[in-house]
């Protein structure tokens, strides 16, 4: 049975464990480029033992960023910075992954700690957002939205492919499409945001066409060894929005278009949510298990999995990858801490050889090194559906 520390192979890429740094927008880029911050941020977590590491949603066009301080790969000049980051990640034993995305009607924002609101198109750091339908998100995201013409949709598919080519040149070894969190992919999928009457709207098959065509465009330019994965806004938690039934059908269709692994998350196409599981430990696990069982594809999951016993349990129950967001910010050495908590025989084998040698072998008073003492195991909650037997990958 696989556990959190088992290697995981997808296509031609093998991860040293199942622990992933989930993509997190950092608002630290200039003109979409990666700089010293990204090098420190990614390399520290690679040295801390994470198997797969995403920097953040990386935009396929300039208007696909969240703010003007967000990352992009829409220009060849942006390759070099990410290449520098990815080389050090690899040297530290990690695999660098890219999440290609477009923010759609949720772009043109300011950072969350500056209020998170949307800027108008005539602001120096704003732009007119583009989406499947001319429907603003609402609230403080109320500026006019441009409805994409079919030719513009085709241009976006080309932009995905072009960004994927640059991603490979920059040394990313894993490509994920961001179809969640109210951004462009999520809004094509959700009836709350997609009111089109052409072949990109209406029926479920039409609402998934944007995604399958983008997958085709990217798969066509990716070397065979590189996995192509996707994070879907699987559940809008709203009776008029996308549901898990839709997600099962959509991911089955995407599987036929070269999808190698699915990750499911919130739709976030509306603030009007009924019982969203934001505060629940392992709250998305039952939904991820359903995808695994009914679609039969490798599946990753995030949201509130930062207790090592819970993360390990998720892999033992049959899911393939555990994505950690805030725990990776809180503790760049989370994998080593988790290994110690879970009784791994050689926790320091997860850090680079030189760190590991000093931590294992140097004479001294072990508790004074600074690693937290191993805590007695805490009770682990197991969501109902997790008890079912998973289907093979």
Kindly list the residues in this chain that would bind ligand FMN in the complex (CB under 6 A).
22-25, 56-57, 99, 178, 180-181, 231, 265, 302-306, 323-327
**Which residue has its beta carbon closest to ligand FMN?**
325
Question: CB of residue 56 vs ligand FMN: minimum separation in angstroms?
Answer: 4
Structure tokens at 48: 């801390």
Q: Which is nearer to ligand FMN, 234 or 305 (CB)?
A: 305
Structure tokens at 357: 């040698």
Q: Which is nearer to ligand FMN, 181 or 207 (CB)?
A: 181
Burial of 92 (0-12, 13-18, 19+ CB in 10 A): buried
What is the C-alpha to C-alpha distance for residues 341 and 332, in angstroms, rounded to an integer? Answer: 16
Instruction: Choose among 238, 117, 108, 258: nearest CA to 186.
Output: 238
Asked if 339 and 49 touch (Cβ cutoff 8 Å), the reply is yes
Q: Which is nearer to ligand FMN, 212 or 265 (CB)?
A: 265
Among residues 27, 74, 183, 200, the one annotated as catalytic is: 183
Question: CB of residue 231 vs ligand FMN: minimum separation in angstroms?
Answer: 5
Positions of E strands within 236-366: 261-266, 299-301, 321-324
Bridge-based pairing of strands 8-10 and 13-15 is antiparallel
Question: Would you call 183 a catalytic residue per the annotation?
Answer: yes
Question: CB of residue 204 vs ligand FMN: minimum separation in angstroms?
Answer: 22
CA 9 to chain centre: 18
Question: CB of residue 354 vs ligand FMN: minimum separation in angstroms?
Answer: 29
Q: Which is nearer to ligand FMN, 306 or 308 (CB)?
A: 306
Asked if 102 and 60 touch (Cβ cutoff 8 Å), the reply is yes
- Catalytic residues, which ones? 183
């Amino acid at each position: 049975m696989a556990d959190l520390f088992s290697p995981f192979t997808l296509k031609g890429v093998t991860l040293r464990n199942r622990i992933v740094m989930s993509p997190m927008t950092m608002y630290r880029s200039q003109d979409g480029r990666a700089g010293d911050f990204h090098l420190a941020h990614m390399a520290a977590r690679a040295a801390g033992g994470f198997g797969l590491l995403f920097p953040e949603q990386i935009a396929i066009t300039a208007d696909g960023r969240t703010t003007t301080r967000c990352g992009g790969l829409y220009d060849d000049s942006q390759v070099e910075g990410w290449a520098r980051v990815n080389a050090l990640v690899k040297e530290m034993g990690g695999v660098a992954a890219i999440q290609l995305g477009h923010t759609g009607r949720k772009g043109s924002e300011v950072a969350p700690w500056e209020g998170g609101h949307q800027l108008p198109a005539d602001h120096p750091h704003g732009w007119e957002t583009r989406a499947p339908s001319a429907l603003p998100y609402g609230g403080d995201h109320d500026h006019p939205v441009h409805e994409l013409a079919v030719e513009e949709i085709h241009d976006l598919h080309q932009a995905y492919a072009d960004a994927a080519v640059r991603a490979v040149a920059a040394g990313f070894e894993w490509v994920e499409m961001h179809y969640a969190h109210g951004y462009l992919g999520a809004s094509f999928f959700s009836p709350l945001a997609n009111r089109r009457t052409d072949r990109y709207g209406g029926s479920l098959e039409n609402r998934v066409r944007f995604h399958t065509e983008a997958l085709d465009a990217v798969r066509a330019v990716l070397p065979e060894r590189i996995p192509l994965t996707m994070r879907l806004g699987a559940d809008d938690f709203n009776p008029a929005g996308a549901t898990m039934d839709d997600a099962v059908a959509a991911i089955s269709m995407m599987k036929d278009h070269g999808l190698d692994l699915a990750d499911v998350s919130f739709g976030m196409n509306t603030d009007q949510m009924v019982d969203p599981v934001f505060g629940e430990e392992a709250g998305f696990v039952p939904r991820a298990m359903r995808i695994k069982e009914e679609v039969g594809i490798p599946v990753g999951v995030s949201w509130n999995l930062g207790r090592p016993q819970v993360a390990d349990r998720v892999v033992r129950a049959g899911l393939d990858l555990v994505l950690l967001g805030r725990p990776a910010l809180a503790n760049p050495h989370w994998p080593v801490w988790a290994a110690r908590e879970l009784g791994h025989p050689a926790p320091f084998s997860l850090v680079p050889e030189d760190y590991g040698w000093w931590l294992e072998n140097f004479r001294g008073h072990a508790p004074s090194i600074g690693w937290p003492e191993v805590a007695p195991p805490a009770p682990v909650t197991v969501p109902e559906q997790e008890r079912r037997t998973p289907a093979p990958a």
